[in-house]
Amino acid sequence: MNETLTVTVRRENGNAVLDLTGEINASAEKNLTAAYAEAESGQPDSVVLNFKDVVYINSTGIALIVGLLAKARVSKRPLVAANLTEHYREIFTITRLSDFITIR
Cα(74)–Cα(70) distance, integer angstroms: 6
Domains: count for the chain: 1
The pLDDT confidence band at residue 87, using thresholds 50, 70 and 90, is: very high
The verdict on residue 86 lying in a domain is yes
**Residues 72 and 66: beta-carbon distance below 8 Å:** no
Structural domain containing residue 61: 6-103
Neighbours of 6 (CB within 10 A): 13
Could you tell me how far CA 96 lies from the centroid of its own chain? Answer: 15
> Which residues, other chains included, contact 64 with Cβ-Cβ below 8 Å and sequence gap of 6+?
24, 28, 29, 32, 33
Domain contains 1: no
Question: Is residue 14 assigned to a domain?
Answer: yes
In a domain, 11, yes or no: yes
Model pTM score:
0.95
Q: Is 96 domain-assigned?
A: yes
State pLDDT tens for residues 9-53: 999 999 999 999 999 999 999 999 999 999 999 999 999 999 999
Q: What is the DSSP letter of 100?
A: T
Which CATH number covers residue 49? 3.30.750.24
